Structure 1
Amino acid sequence: MKITVLQYLGILFLNVLITCQALRHHKFVVRDAPYTKLCSTKNILTVNGQFPGPTLYVTKGETIIVDVYNRANYNITIHWHGVNQPRYPWSDGPEYITQCPIRPGGKFSQKVIFSEEEGTLWWHAHSDWSRATVHGMIVVKPTPGTTYPFPKPHKEVPIILGEWWKKDIVEVYNEFRRTGGDANISDAYTINGQPGDQYPCSSNETFKLRVDYGKTYLLRMVNAAVQDILFFAISKHQVTIVGSDGNYVKPLKVDYITISPGQTMDVLLEANQPLGQYYMASKVYSSATGVEFDNTTTTAIIQYRGNYIPSSTTPSLPSLPASDDIMASINLISQLRSLNDNQHQIDVPLNITTNLFFTTSVNTLPCSNDSTCALPGNNRLSASMNNISFQLPSNNNILQAYYNNISGVFGENFPNVPPLLFDFTGNNLPAYLTTPSVATEVNVLEYNSTVELVLQSTNILAGTEHPIHLHGHNFYVVGWGFGNFDKDKDPLNYNLVDPPYQNTVAMPKNGWTAIRFRAQNPGVWFVHCHLERHVSWGMAMTFIVKNGDKTEEQMLPPPPDMPQC
């Protein structure tokens, strides 16, 4: 029987010991610890007593072993977000997809295989909403003898954006599941674990970055928020984006950035303003009509070193777009370009063998007869891809069932195109479209197939953005647009020269995004919206990439200590 990870009982929390063995030995201890925010103290799940967790430093192409010991009363899994794990899905981490959760008292040694990634990635729990506090950064350094494709910065600084509730996250999650409605909005956003001095009781703990005039700083950024796309900017300063999702991009100077949950960015900050203090700030982007959101702003401080008289007033806030500014939300998807030089070449698939078209929708489903849900007619909120609300298995995981030819765990009938064609982004859509089917279906890809996947958002119930994350592969974002995708006209405007190479991309509200990738990583790979409420409602699917003919094109065998269901 599945046990919810996020079940806080007093101070009884999950304890996970993580040991990283490579050229250097790292020891991460995940435990519950007291943490103070917004004038109150509560126990949260932490790694080494830190929130966010410690940064893991590796070298491009390195393989590490992470020993995960679960010393708590509840289950856990860990996902290495953006690490492709070539031929080795066993350590990817999403519960009931590639592994059963690690039981209390259990251990799982996860082999984490880095390959083409370079730059900033992150790790997080992948079981229910435990990633709210169980997360940390991964820094993938260039291989020895190579360096960054930009001048070496004076210092590298982690900037992790997060989300905070005064309630225990388990209470938020359990109420969300019980009522069938939307989740309670967060009480604050955070920068490096602190909401900033715009919130009560936070002034002493606000993150400060001390800088020297004339120096350049590399900000390694992660959006670890559970539910929200975020805007970020620094007062009086522009920043230059040089990387995204573990890949370099052509330098792009901007006044602000838009960063989706799951996305990472490498950003250069030039300390070129008069000596003083300046706010960095982040707030939500939310476009769905009638949906509540946390309308607060988190801050941290850029403080110049030197002799000057500090201002008697608080620093000024940077100018951030309005929370519903749709055009501002897509400013980066329209401008990011892969670096594509001699040292960082790209290989965009041109001859497509597999064309896929997936819709993403917010839906409703009827509640069971013995429950009362929040929506009229005893309905609950749901979500789907191609009109299928994805249901996790409960007594096995898809990878082990596939590898061992166990029937009854999943079907292979996830459609290449939606079963119903309609005006996806139209208004006043008919009521029958709101109810999806519920199933555990996968889509099977031939090894080495070249895939174009068009992701089309719909306006069923509420049109909004969906940050979609593909496990096991990076993809080229070759096109995007508003409205319904036109298969005859829109591909004419694709960027097939230097599109960005991502693992997470935000679909525009009532629009579409086209991605391309090569299915060269055999195994089972999850695809899902990185807004936790949406994936909990079923906005997900799974690819199975079949083995190739050669030994080096086939899945490696499982480790001996795979967790059992």
Structure 2
Amino acid sequence: METYNLSTKPYCTFFLLGLFALFAFLSSFAAAETHYHDFVVSIFLHFLHGVRQLRNPWADGPTYVTQCPIKPGGTYTYRFTIINQEGTLWWHAHTDWLRATVYGALIIYPRLGSPYPFSMPKLENAILLGEWWDRNPMDVLRQSQFTGAAPNISDAYTINGQPGDLYRCSSRETVRFPIEAGKTVLLRIINSALNQELFFAIANHRLTVVSVDASYTKPFTTNVIMIAPGQTTDVLLTADQRPAHYYMAAHAYNTANAPFDNTTTTAILEYKSAPCSGNKGKSSRPIFPQLPGYNDTATATAFTAGVKSPCQVKVPTVIDQNLFFTVGLGLINCTQPNSPRCQGPNGTRFSASMNNVSFVLPRTTSIMQAYYQGVPGVFTTDFPPVPPIQFDYTGNVSRGLWQPAPGTKLYKLKYGSRVQIVMQDTSIVTTEDHPMHLHGYQFYVVGSGFGNFNPSRDTANFNLIDPPRRNTIGTPPGGWVAVRFVADNPGVWLMHCHLDVHLGLGLAMSFLVENGIGTSQSVIPPPADLPQC
């Protein structure tokens, strides 16, 4: 498995191979010795997850949001600049369920002469956690879209493309990570799974968390991490155990009252000095880690709460836009409940929404192209800042509130606005941890809790000193999470649940951040080769 590796060396070459990818490509770049990296990549549609791409939504990639799809046989060159970012991010397709197979790591190293804020590890490994179906994932999606029912769950999880020893017929290809006794390795862990949050652990070894979503953290040590789709977590591991073979393993953290893939993927941490035993020199079976139960929300919550910035940060304290978004599932009533297209609960179709608006992608042009070119009728800017109807969000919700309204609605922000968003999970259909991802931005996670958000009580407990900076954060099941950021990146930026099953159902919205004053605060012109619909 190869990854993007970006540094500030005068000349660097990087490679990207998609894990079980639908395509592969080879590209190279030369980066100047400054605090940023300029490079050009020619590929099919994808999104560089977590890259801020200042003033340049044209390189963001979500289909029909910032660009039209690249047509078969066509090309589009993504040009963008990385400024003041370093750490682990990733790239993936951003149309339908192509992300199930089209993804990889994007590693941005510190510029030359700038060390990590921790002891230099002996080596580094990227660990991409994935999800696998025993059929074409696009067929799984199409069946769900036709019937209106929930899609079939996956058949396996993977580590760097391989399911591991616990699945039938896959033990020969189990990924192995060799390590020398006493040495420290930096593991760059990415949850590339399509629809599942995961617990991850390594038998008998402690993990020291040092970064999340390409932002350094105050180091803390743990036996297990919880990582949601879209998130990255960097950990240090020291080979301080008896030389042997140890499983690293991941399985589901499931918060919804719904079926899930209850299998476990494994790879092997292999001490080079481990003795061999058994027939033909084969080593003994690796030691297995203790993973939390699939419904262990206490462990997941404790891990998330442990992530903090390494020092005091500049969190917006005066708020210009105070937004409250409900996020969750819904059901659409069918005119013919017995139809083959109405196989959701009680003859309905599944849906999802934010503030009761189920996001609909346009099909004639992208939102950003329509905005830039002044094309009318593609979107509106009346996304509600609060739910249209207030209710007991995590209680017994009236069935009259279960059906969202479809729409392509944006929320407009002035350049430089200081924004707070509280995202509230609901009990409509089921409570669930929704990993919410904001394109084009990083934000500070200032608070979270269970039950309905109470501003008079909960705001007083916000962490405005050292909250973590992320680009993806989960809503606690039956709870809420609050984030803050400054709207200093103009353009159209998608915000959505990173469970792709929910994104396709409409659990998304977009911000329209207006230009500021002058060229340096304005969207750059679109490239000449931007795909047209």
Q: TM-score, normalised by structure 1?
A: 0.88
Matched, 1:65 2:61: no
Partner residue, 1:358: 325
Partner residue, 1:402: 371
Partner residue, 1:423: 392
Q: 2:416 aligns with which of 420, 424, 448?
A: 448
Amino acid at match of 1:159: I
Asked if the contact 1:423/1:484 (under 8 Å) is kept, the reply is: yes
Aligned ranges 1:116-127 → 2 under 5 Å: 116-127=84-95
Q: What are the Cα deviations for residues 215-250 of structure 1, in whole angstroms up to 9, with x where unaligned? A: 000001100000100000000001000000011001
CA distance in 2, matches of 1:492, 1:138: 37
Matched, 1:266 2:243: no
Q: What are the Cα deviations for residues 183-226 of structure 1, in whole angstroms up to 9, with x where unaligned? A: 11111000010000111111111010111111000001100000
Asked if the contact 2:14/2:28 (under 8 Å) is kept, the reply is: no
Q: 1:322 aligns with which of 293, 300, 314?
A: 293
Amino acid at match of 1:448: G
Partner residue, 2:403: 435
SS of equivalent residue, structure 1 residue 333:
helix
Asked if the contact 1:57/1:138 (under 8 Å) is kept, the reply is: no
Matched, 1:236 2:236: no
Aligned ranges 1:208-223 → 2 under 5 Å: 208-223=176-191
Asked if the contact 1:84/1:471 (under 8 Å) is kept, the reply is: yes
Q: TM-score, normalised by structure 2?
A: 0.93
Amino acid at match of 2:365: N
Q: What are the Cα deviations for residues 413-453 of structure 1, in whole angstroms up to 9, with x where unaligned? A: 001111010000003x2110110100000000010000010
Q: How far 1:48 moved relative to its partner?
A: 5.0
Q: How far 1:47 moved relative to its partner?
A: 2.5
Asked if the contact 1:60/1:140 (under 8 Å) is kept, the reply is: no
Amino acid at match of 2:68: C
Q: 1:264–1:299: structure 2 CA closer, same or farther, 3 Å change rule?
A: same
Unaligned runs of 5+ in 2: none
Asked if the contact 1:474/1:501 (under 8 Å) is kept, the reply is: yes
Matched, 1:530 2:530: no
Amino acid at match of 2:93: A
CA distance in 2, matches of 1:495, 1:24: 40
Q: How far 1:328 moved relative to its partner?
A: 1.4
Amino acid at match of 1:492: A
Asked if the contact 2:37/2:82 (under 8 Å) is kept, the reply is: yes
Amino acid at match of 1:183: P
CA distance in 1, matches of 2:90, 2:448: 26
Q: How far 1:331 moved relative to its partner?
A: 2.1
SS of equivalent residue, structure 1 residue 317:
coil
Q: 1:540 aligns with which of 501, 508, 514?
A: 508
Q: How far 1:55 moved relative to its partner?
A: 12
SS of equivalent residue, structure 2 residue 495:
strand
Asked if the contact 2:191/2:230 (under 8 Å) is kept, the reply is: yes
Q: 1:249–1:307: structure 2 CA closer, same or farther, 3 Å change rule?
A: closer
CA distance in 2, matches of 1:64, 1:349: 32
CA distance in 1, matches of 2:127, 2:274: 27
Asked if the contact 2:324/2:422 (under 8 Å) is kept, the reply is: yes
Asked if the contact 2:434/2:499 (under 8 Å) is kept, the reply is: yes
Q: How far 1:164 moved relative to its partner?
A: 0.5
Matched, 1:506 2:474: yes
Moved more, 103-112 or 146-155: 103-112
Asked if the contact 2:157/2:163 (under 8 Å) is kept, the reply is: yes
Q: How far 1:346 moved relative to its partner?
A: 3.1
Asked if the contact 2:150/2:344 (under 8 Å) is kept, the reply is: no
Q: 1:410–1:315: structure 2 CA closer, same or farther, 3 Å change rule?
A: same
CA distance in 1, matches of 2:365, 2:142: 23
Q: How far 1:170 moved relative to its partner?
A: 1.5
Aligned ranges 1:127-276 → 2 under 5 Å: 127-276=95-244
Partner residue, 1:339: 310
Q: How far 1:146 moved relative to its partner?
A: 0.7
Q: How far 1:274 moved relative to its partner?
A: 0.4
Partner residue, 1:94: 62
Matched, 1:479 2:439: no
Asked if the contact 2:30/2:39 (under 8 Å) is kept, the reply is: no
Amino acid at match of 2:310: L
* Count of residues in Structure 1 that have an aligned counterpart in Structure 2: 519
Unaligned runs of 5+ in 1: 1-17, 36-43, 71-76
CA distance in 2, matches of 1:559, 1:254: 46
Aligned ranges 1:289-308 → 2 under 5 Å: 289=257, 291-306=258-273, 308=275
Asked if the contact 2:12/2:30 (under 8 Å) is kept, the reply is: no
Asked if the contact 1:60/1:141 (under 8 Å) is kept, the reply is: no
Asked if the contact 2:29/2:40 (under 8 Å) is kept, the reply is: no
Q: How far 1:307 moved relative to its partner?
A: 5.6
SS of equivalent residue, structure 2 residue 229:
coil
Q: 1:29–1:505: structure 2 CA closer, same or farther, 3 Å change rule?
A: closer
CA distance in 2, matches of 1:226, 1:179: 20
CA distance in 1, matches of 2:17, 2:207: 35
SS of equivalent residue, structure 1 residue 512:
strand
Amino acid at match of 2:375: I
CA distance in 2, matches of 1:26, 1:213: 30
Q: 1:48–1:368: structure 2 CA closer, same or farther, 3 Å change rule?
A: farther
Q: How far 1:140 moved relative to its partner?
A: 0.5
Amino acid at match of 1:324: N
Q: 1:28–1:336: structure 2 CA closer, same or farther, 3 Å change rule?
A: closer
Q: 1:55–1:161: structure 2 CA closer, same or farther, 3 Å change rule?
A: farther
Q: 1:265–1:355: structure 2 CA closer, same or farther, 3 Å change rule?
A: same
Q: How far 1:372 moved relative to its partner?
A: 2.6
Q: How far 1:81 moved relative to its partner?
A: 0.1
Asked if the contact 2:443/2:484 (under 8 Å) is kept, the reply is: yes
Q: How far 1:93 moved relative to its partner?
A: 0.3
CA distance in 2, matches of 1:241, 1:375: 41
Q: How far 1:24 moved relative to its partner?
A: 3.5
